[in-house]
């Protein structure tokens, strides 16, 4: 089975951007006041440019003295208030910094520096819900603030990750849509959006995200794997094969890649090539079930129930509740006209996975052979209903091992 796992978190972290962002304030002020000193000042009153220069040298005592003199003369000087807020951040006096940023914003709501400062402060304090509005306002006022953009994207990614962990997928997708709009070239955002879209069966959106990521990083193995999964889900098996071949080329020792490639080849009815990939997967990861299971399915479809039974037995030895293998063993017994044994296997499969259409269908046939007409009709109706639901959702049942799983990890059956 494939599982989504946690969204991939890059090495970038909002705190790194936060440290850089507050330092950047100093350079912004120096540049801003190089030609103009802000509000008029008498010879006895210092300028915000002088205060910014003092802050740039790390002299907090002189900086604060200059700023207090400016504010005593002009209490509404938003640049001085903003610089003093930055001083308070450096002094770890966050509550006072918050008050000063808010005061500057109240006086001049379109002051991008104060909006950015307040948002960065909230982000530093991990008050992400409070951080988002001022950061968004800062970017609206000054779209060139890459430091603010990086922090905001980091917050949105974290919120998406937290939502996904609580299975709130629509909420997670909303956060990632916002992050994607901020920077379409952010490959981490594209990947995480693609993975959430995949979980939600939004396959065209997933394909678009992985395609965008691969344009930026053509040899990204995780994106190739995700793209292959999405292509399989819309029955574009040739494209899926190409994506999985790329993945195997980059990670030849990954059993899950060979399994996925085998699955796409099996869908293309290239049984010999599929078998070779499953066998490579088993050689790399003997302690698994899925490649053995697919080999059993292929043997069954090739008319060799005895060989199929050996593969299914291997699976059931490791995973007794594997619904797919239980169904496969039931089909073997059904072909051997052991209808009571077949029905027992199908019932166990349904107990493990009530939504497995194939098990209900074959149980209905077995019940019919056993003269249980009412039970047979019930199971066949259930199989028909499940099939109808699958068609409505445009779902293709796919089971692929997640490439981020450890090699010895046992996969859960979804058969």
Domain ranges of the chain: 14-160, 289-415
The CATH label, of 1.20.58.110, 1.25.40.10, 2.70.98.10, 3.30.70.1520, for the domain at 14-160 is: 1.25.40.10
For position 393, what pLDDT does the model report?
64
**Is the Cα torsion angle 111, 112, 117, 123 positive or negative in sign?**
positive
Neighbours of 22 (CB within 10 A): 20
Same fold, 14-160 and 289-415: yes
Give the 3-state secondary structure percentages of the chain, helix then strand then coil, rounded to 5: 70, 0, 30
Query: Residues with Cβ < 8 Å from 8, sequence gap 6 or more?
Result: 188, 191, 192, 195, 222, 404
This prediction has a pTM of 0.80
For position 214, what pLDDT does the model report?
97
Domain 289-415 fold is 1.25.40
Q: What is the pLDDT along the chain (415 residues), one digit of tens a residue?
A: 333 233 343 444 444 445 545 555 544 544 454 334 444 445 577 888 898 888 888 899 999 999 999 999 999 999 999 999 999 999 999 999 999 999 999 999 999 999 999 999 999 999 999 999 999 999 999 999 999 999 999 999 999 999 999 999 999 999 999 999 999 999 999 999 999 999 999 999 999 999 999 999 999 999 999 999 999 999 999 999 999 999 999 999 999 999 999 999 999 999 999 999 999 999 999 999 999 999 999 999 999 999 999 999 999 999 999 999 999 999 999 999 999 999 999 999 999 999 999 999 999 999 999 999 999 999 999 999 999 887 766 544 344 444 443 333 333 333 3
Q: Are 198 and 172 in contact (CB under 8 A)?
A: no
Q: How far apart are the first and last CA of the chain?
A: 8
Continuous segment of H or E residues that includes residue 241: helix 237-250
List the Cα angle 397/168/217 in 5-degree steps.
Answer: 70
**DSSP one-letter code for 217:** -
Residue among 166, 167, 163 at smallest CA distance from 176: 163
What is the spatial distance between Cα 113 and Cα 144, in angstroms, rounded to a whole number? 12
């Amino acid at each position: 089975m494939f599982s989504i796992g946690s969204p991939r978190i890059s090495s970038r972290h909002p705190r790194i951007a936060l440290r850089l962002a507050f330092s950047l304030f100093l350079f912004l002020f120096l540049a801003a006041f190089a030609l103009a000193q802000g509000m008029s000042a008498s010879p006895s009153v210092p300028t915000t440019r002088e205060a910014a220069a003092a802050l740039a040298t790390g002299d907090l005592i002189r900086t604060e003295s200059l700023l207090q003199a400016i504010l005593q003369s002009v209490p509404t000087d938003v640049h001085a208030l903003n610089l003093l807020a930055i001083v308070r951040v450096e002094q770890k006096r966050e509550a006072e910094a918050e008050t000063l940023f808010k005061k500057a914003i109240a006086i001049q709501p379109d002051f991008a520096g104060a909006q950015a400062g307040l948002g960065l402060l909230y982000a530093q304090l991990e008050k992400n819900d409070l951080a988002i509005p001022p950061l968004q306002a800062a970017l609206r006022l000054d779209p060139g603030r890459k430091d603010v953009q990086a922090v905001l994207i980091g917050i949105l990614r974290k919120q998406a990750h937290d939502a996904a962990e609580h299975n709130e997928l629509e909420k997670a997708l909303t956060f990632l849509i916002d992050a994607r709009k901020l920077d379409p070239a952010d490959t981490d955002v594209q990947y995480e959006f693609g993975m959430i879209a995949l979980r939600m069966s939004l396959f065209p959106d997933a394909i678009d995200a992985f395609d965008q990521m691969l344009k930026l990083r053509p040899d990204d193995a995780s994106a190739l794997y995700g793209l292959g999964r999405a292509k399989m889900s819309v029955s574009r098996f040739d494209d899926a094969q190409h994506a999985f071949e790329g993945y195997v080329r980059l990670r030849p020792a990954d059993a899950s890649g060979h399994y996925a490639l085998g699955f796409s080849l099996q869908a293309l009815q290239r049984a010999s090539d599929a078998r070779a990939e499953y066998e490579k997967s088993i050689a790399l990861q003997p302690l698994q079930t899925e490649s053995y299971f697919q080999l059993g399915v292929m043997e069954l479809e090739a008319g060799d129930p005895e060989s199929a039974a050996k593969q299914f037995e291997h699976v059931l030895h490791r995973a007794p509740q594997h619904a797919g293998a239980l169904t496969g063993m039931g089909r073997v017994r059904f072909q051997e006209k052991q209808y009571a044994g077949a029905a027992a296997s199908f019932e166990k499969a349904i107990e493990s996975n009530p939504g497995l259409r194939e098990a209900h269908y074959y149980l209905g046939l077995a019940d019919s052979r056993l003269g249980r007409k009412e039970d047979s009709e019930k199971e066949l109706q259930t199989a028909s209903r499940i099939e109808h639901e699958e068609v409505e959702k445009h779902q293709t049942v796919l089971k692929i091992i997640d490439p981020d799983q450890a090699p010895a990890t046992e996969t859960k059956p979804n058969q």
